[in-house]
Structure formats: structure tokens, C-alpha cells
């Protein structure tokens, strides 16, 4: 592991009429004993203006925040990020390009993912590899802070979906000793790995409770609609529609998983910031459901205030321009179910998350006792310690974890990849521990990220000043 500040390439890039000049340090190894050298490395970019004594948006070479996006999706390996165009949707400059234009230093690590194998065929990127790598990359930044541009006390992670989950885990588990043996194993730098802020788009997280949360939201909706996506590394994915009705076993799992959620939520003893207890009755109703409804109603209200016509939403009740109430079951029916029950720990043990929780020699494992007991394959259950290492909610109330002070969580109003309960619980636990959380569910926004970079950067500027 090494950082030579003189070993950069000076580059210029123009996109969308914006020209950026920057220094790039690429392929910096952040692990001395990498399991996969191709992935355990990162790119660092800094505005050239900082080396000419200039400032951008009030930042200079010492004070610029360090924006740290990951490119992980589907818990697959993520390549080190580059300024350029977004891989999805209409061609637009990506977060790295715009962050440099805005005056941030960007540290863009590659992270191992669930499909990587060593030459001998064993798996090298199963849990907790992705989070261990992200932490190792932060430690690299802290270790070489004297030579690096930017303020390493202002590291802000960013990611979407599985990448959003990793960002939330970075924010929740800073410096926690649980990760130490894994960091030692890969030869990470001796430094701290806590971060200043976490930006999390639709985090696919709390995986060991995500099945019950999903059925709490979608119970009674038995038809499912999704697009089969072939995840290509870095390339563009292909989609084909898959529509169907859950079979009897899946419907049974839906009822049984939904029944588990109330006792999980009640066991958490959640409260709103002003102290109201958030609980659920066995039928899934209760103050926690009212809280999630408020998140959706707030989203609707923001849309109404912007002049959006919301009259097509039969589940939404608007009175005198105010979104006053909603029917949660009708809402779930309208946004439709994407996944069959159990949504994450599949009975067939073939989900992305089953693959995440494999180990060196096993590609797929269970990670909930429900699916381990009811599964159709004679599958193994991952170790509790490993499941915990992937779950930010296990660290938020743990004093040994240094939490990010600032959080921005976005989970689209019509996201069906995971329940809104997941991001709600994350938010409530963080607020309980004194973190500042900006949590919203943007109207008619599906499972996606980086769609509001202007607002994200305004938030970063506000917390950094
Ligand atoms: C992602 C989406 C999912 O629905 C999931 O279960 C895991 C990961 C993703 O887009 O990263």
C-alpha cells in the first residue's frame, strides 16, 4: 500500500457543457494482502484548481469534503468509479463528474462482491467482503491524509440499493472491533474507518428482517410483477418482464413472515423523536404503520405542493390540497409486489442475498431461521456473526460503533425492492442515538439513486460548513 502524490495524471473532461480539470490517481491498492487485487483498489480524483491555489464553492485543497461513492449493485463486485456518464437512464454526467465540478475530492473504491472467485475456484467476495473493503478504503484515506487532497474528517459515502446498504453500514459501524479480524486479514491500514456522513439511496438492508417487513407491506397482494435483470458488470443490463401469482407455499410464507414482523418491531422499542412509542398489533396495524403512512403522506404533500396531479391515486385521500390520509393495503396493491415470499432469503435459496451469505466454498446459504427451516433445498444457515456484520441496525445502539453524525436516506415512494419499513427503522434508530437524519420517500420514484444530485450536494455543503 502506497500513495505517491506526484504520480497522477492531469485530465480534462467535458460533458453537458461542463468542463472539469482534475488530477487522477488510479488503481491505488488499499489492502496489503488482497484476496482480489483487481477489486481491492480505488481511484482518487481532485479538482486541478486546488493545485493552483484557487477555491471552488468556498472549498480549498484542505477543506474540500471527500465524496466516496461505491458502484455496488445486487451485492455484485463494484468497479472503481470514474467521472463520466451514468450507466442507467438517459445519458447524464454521473455523481463523480458533478462532485468534482462542485469542488469535492472524490475517492471511488472498487469493492469485492458475491460472485468473485480465486484461481482455485473458491469464493473471495462473500459477506462481509464488501463492507470490509469499504472500511479498508477509508482507512487508506486516513493513513495517507497528509499527502491527500481534501478533509478526511468530512468523508461522505454514497450508494444505491446494495450500495446504499453499504453506505448505511459505513455510517453505522465506524471503528467497530467486529470487523477488525477481517481488516487485519486483508492487510488494511492501521487507521480509523468512521465517516462524517452517509448518503443512502433505497438501502437493501436489515436483510435478516427484510422478508417479514416485505410481507407486512405486501400481505394480501399475491400477484407479482418484475423485470428479470441480467446484471452485467459495468455493462448495461437486459430486462424481460416476469408476471405471476404466488403459489400456495409462497402465500403461506407471506402469511407466516408477516406474522413475525410485529414482534420484531415491538422488540425494538422504537419511538418517534418526540417520544411516541411505535408499535404494531398482530394484524400489522398500529403506530408504526401510522409512521410509515406519514412518510408516504409527506411525499404526496410535497408532490401536491409542486403542482403534481395526484388524483389518480385511489388510496390517497386529499382534502383542500392536503394529503390527509391513505389506505395502506390499497397503496401496496397499487405499487404492486415485485418479489415472491420470502423476498430475500428465498426458499429456493437462489436470491442475490443467498449468494451474498455464501462462504469460501458454498455459493448460496440461508440467513433467516424461517427459510432455513422451511427451505426447499437442504441448505446451510450462515453464521450469526456474519449476518450481523452486514446489518447496520445491529450497530446503531452499540457504543463501540462510531456513528456518522449526518444521514441522508432516500427511499422512493413506489420502490418495491424492499419495504419502506426498512428505511424507516434505520431512520428511527439513528434519530434515537442523536444522529441528524434527512429521510424522505420521493413521490413516484422507483428503486433508483443519484436522481437529485443538486439537492444531495446542497445537503453536503450545509453539513460541512
Ligand atoms: C439490489 C436490488 C434488490 O432487489 C436486491 O434484493 C438486492 C440488491 C440492487 O439493486 O442492488
Ligand 1 atom having least distance to the Cα of 447? 10
Q: Map grid coordinates 463486485 to a residue.
A: 77
Model confidence at 91, pLDDT cuts 50, 70, 90, reads confident
- % of the chain at pLDDT higher than 90: 95
Q: Is 162 in the pocket of ligand 1 (CB under 6 A)?
A: yes
Q: Mind listing the pLDDT tens digit for each residue in 370-422?
A: 999 999 999 999 999 999 999 999 999 999 999 999 999 999 999 999 999 99
Percent of the residues in the chain that have a pLDDT greater than 70, as a whole number: 99
Dist CA 426 CA 284 (whole Å): 19
**What is the pLDDT, as a whole number, of residue 239?**
84
Q: Which three cell numbers mark 118?
A: 480465486
Task: Indicate if the pLDDT at residue 223 is higher than 90.
Answer: yes
CA–CA dist 8, 12 (Å, integer): 13
Does residue 233 carry a pLDDT above 80?
A: no
Residues contacting residue 73 through CB under 8 Å, at least 6 positions apart: 160, 161, 162, 163, 231
Q: How many A from CA of 65 to the centre of ligand 1?
A: 28
pLDDT band, residue 230 (cuts 50/70/90): confident
* pLDDT for 240 beyond 90: no
SS3 for the chain is CCCCCCCCEEEEEEECCEEEEEEEEEEEECCCCCCCCCCCEEEEEEEHHHHHCCCECCECCCCCEEEEECCCCCCCCECCCCCCECCCCCCCECHHHHHHHHCCEEEEECECCCCCECCCCCECCCCCHHHHHHHHHHHHHHHCCCCCCCEEEEEEEEEECHHHHHHHHHHHCECCHHHHHHHHHCCCCCCCCCCCEEEEECCCCCHHHHHHHHHHHHCCCCEEEEEEEECCCCCCCEEEEEEEECCHHHHHHHHHHHHHHHHHHHHHCEECCCCCEECCCCCCCCHHHHHHHHHHHHHHHHHHHCCCCCCCCCCEEEECCEEEEECHHHHHHHHCECCCCCCCCCCCCCCHHHHHCCCCCCCCCECCHHHHHHCCCCCCECCHHHHHHCCHHHCCCCCCCECCCEEEEECCCCCCCCCHHHHHHHHHHHHHCCCEEEEECCCCCCCCCCCCHHHHHHHHHHHHC
Instruction: Give the residue-averaged pLDDT of 126-142.
Output: 99
Residue nearest to atom 8 of ligand 1 (CA): 74
pLDDT value at residue 73:
96
Q: Residue 294 — φ and ψ, nearest 5°? A: -60, -35
342 in contact with ligand 1, CB cutoff 6 A: no
Distance 96 CA to ligand 1 centre (A): 22
Model confidence pLDDT, tens digit, residues 33-65: 999 999 999 999 999 999 999 999 999 999 999
**Mean confidence (pLDDT) of the chain:** 97
Measured from the Cα of 72, ligand 1's closest atom is 11
- Which pTM does this prediction carry? 0.97
Residue 209 scores a pLDDT above 90: yes
* Pocket probe mutation, ligand 1, options 162, 202, 217, 412, max atoms within 8 Å of Cβ: 162
**Residue 111 in contact with residue 130, Cβ under 8 Å?**
yes
pLDDT at 235 over 80: no
- pLDDT attached to residue 310: 98
Average pLDDT, integer, range 182-210: 98
Look-up: residue for cell 432516500?
410
Q: Across residues 434-458, what is the average pLDDT?
A: 98
Torsion angle, alpha carbons of 26, 32, 36, 41, to 10: -20
Statement: residue 425 has pLDDT above 90: yes
Please tell me the predicted confidence (pLDDT) of residue 228: 86
> What does the pLDDT average to over 245-270?
98
What CA–CA distances, in Å, run from 365 to 344, 360, 380? 11, 11, 5
With the most atoms of ligand 1 within 8 angstroms of its CB, the residue from 159, 417, 450 to mutate is 417
Q: Are 221 and 333 in contact (CB under 8 A)?
A: yes
The better pLDDT of the pair 234, 119 is held by: 119
Q: Could you report the per-residue pLDDT of 379-393, keeping only the tens digit for each?
A: 999 999 999 999 999
Region 87-96 average pLDDT = 88
Question: So what's the pLDDT on residue 446?
Answer: 97
Residues 47/56, Cβ–Cβ less than 8 Å: yes
Q: Report the C-alpha gap between 148 and 62 in whole angstroms.
A: 9
Burial of 53 (0-12, 13-18, 19+ CB in 10 A): exposed
d(CA 387, CA 41): 25
Q: Residue 87 pLDDT > 90, yes or no?
A: no
CA 47 to ligand 1 centroid distance, Å = 33
End-to-end CA distance of the chain: 32
Q: Which three cell numbers stand for residue 59?
A: 472549498
Phi, psi of 170 (to 5 degrees): -60, -45
pLDDT of residue 90: 80
Confidence of residue 188 (pLDDT cuts 50, 70, 90): very high
Report the residue among 160, 218, 351, 352 best suited for mutation to probe ligand 1: largest number of ligand atoms under 8 A from its CB.
352
310 CB-contact burial (10 Å; exposed 0-12 / middle 13-18 / buried 19+):
middle
pLDDT band at 238 (very low <50, low <70, confident <90, very high): confident
Residue 266's pLDDT band, with cuts at 50, 70 and 90, is very high
The pLDDT of 308-317, averaged and rounded, is 98
Amino acid at each position: 500500500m502506497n500513495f505517491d502524490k506526484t504520480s497522477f495524471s492531469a485530465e480534462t473532461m467535458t460533458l453537458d457543457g461542463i468542463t472539469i480539470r482534475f488530477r487522477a490517481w488510479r488503481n491505488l491498492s488499499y489492502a496489503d494482502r488482497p484476496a482480489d487485487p483487481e477489486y481491492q483498489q480505488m481511484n482518487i480524483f481532485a479538482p486541478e484548481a486546488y493545485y493552483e491555489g484557487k477555491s471552488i464553492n468556498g472549498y480549498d485543497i484542505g477543506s474540500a469534503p471527500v465524496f466516496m461513492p461505491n458502484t455496488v449493485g445486487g451485492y455484485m463486485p463494484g468497479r472503481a468509479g470514474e467521472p463520466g456518464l451514468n450507466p442507467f437512464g438517459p445519458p447524464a454526467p454521473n455523481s463523480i463528474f458533478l462532485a468534482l465540478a462542485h469542488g469535492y475530492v472524490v475517492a471511488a473504491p472498487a469493492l469485492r462482491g458475491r460472485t468473485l472467485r480465486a484461481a482455485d475456484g473458491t469464493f473471495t467476495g462473500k459477506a462481509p467482503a464488501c463492507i470490509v473493503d469499504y472500511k479498508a478504503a477509508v482507512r487508506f484515506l486516513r493513513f495517507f491524509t497528509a499527502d491527500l487532497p481534501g478533509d478526511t474528517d468530512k468523508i461522505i459515502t454514497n450508494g444505491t440499493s446494495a450500495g446504499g446498504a453499504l453506505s448505511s453500514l459505513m455510517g453505522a459501524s465506524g471503528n467497530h472491533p467486529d470487523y477488525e479480524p477481517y481488516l487485519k486479514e486483508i492487510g488494511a491500514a492501521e487507521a480509523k474507518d468512521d465517516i462524517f456522513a452517509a448518503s443512502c439511496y433505497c438501502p437493501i438492508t436489515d436483510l435478516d428482517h427484510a422478508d417479514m417487513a416485505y410481507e407486512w407491506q405486501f400481505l394480501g397482494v399475491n400477484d407479482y410483477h418484475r423485470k428479470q435483470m441480467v446484471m452485467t458488470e459495468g455493462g448495461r443490463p437486459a430486462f424481460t418482464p416476469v408476471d405471476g401469482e404466488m403459489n400456495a407455499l409462497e402465500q403461506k410464507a407471506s402469511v407466516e413472515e408477516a406474522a413475525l414482523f410485529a414482534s420484531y418491531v415491538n422488540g425494538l422499542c422504537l419511538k418517534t423523536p418526540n417520544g411516541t412509542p411505535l408499535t404494531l398489533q398482530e394484524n400489522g396495524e398500529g403506530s408504526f404503520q401510522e409512521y410509515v403512512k406519514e412518510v408516504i403522506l409527506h411525499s404526496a404533500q410535497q408532490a401536491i405542493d409542486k403542482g403534481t396531479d395526484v388524483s389518480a391515486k385511489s388510496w390517497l385521500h386529499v382534502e383542500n390540497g392536503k394529503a390527509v390520509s391513505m389506505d395502506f393495503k390499497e397503496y401496496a396493491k397499487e405499487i404492486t409486489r415485485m418479489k415472491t415470499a420470502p423476498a430475500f432469503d428465498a426458499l429456493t435459496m437462489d436470491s442475490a442475498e443467498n449468494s451474498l451469505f455464501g462462504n469460501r466454498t458454498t455459493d448460496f446459504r440461508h440467513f433467516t431461521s424461517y427459510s432455513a427451516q422451511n427451505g426447499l433445498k437442504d441448505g446451510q444457515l450462515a453464521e450469526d456473526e456474519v449476518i450481523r456484520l452486514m446489518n447496520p441496525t445491529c450497530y446503531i445502539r452499540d457504543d463501540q460503533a462510531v456513528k456518522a453524525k449526518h444521514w441522508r436516506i432516500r427511499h422512493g415512494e413506489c420502490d418495491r425492492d424492499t419495504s419502506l419499513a426498512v428505511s424507516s427503522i434505520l431512520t428511527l434508530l439513528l434519530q434515537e442515538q442523536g444522529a441528524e437524519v434527512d429521510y424522505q420517500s420521493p413521490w413516484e420514484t422507483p428503486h433508483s439513486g443519484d436522481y437529485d444530485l443538486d439537492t444531495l450536494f446542497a445537503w453536503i455543503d450545509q453539513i460541512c460548513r
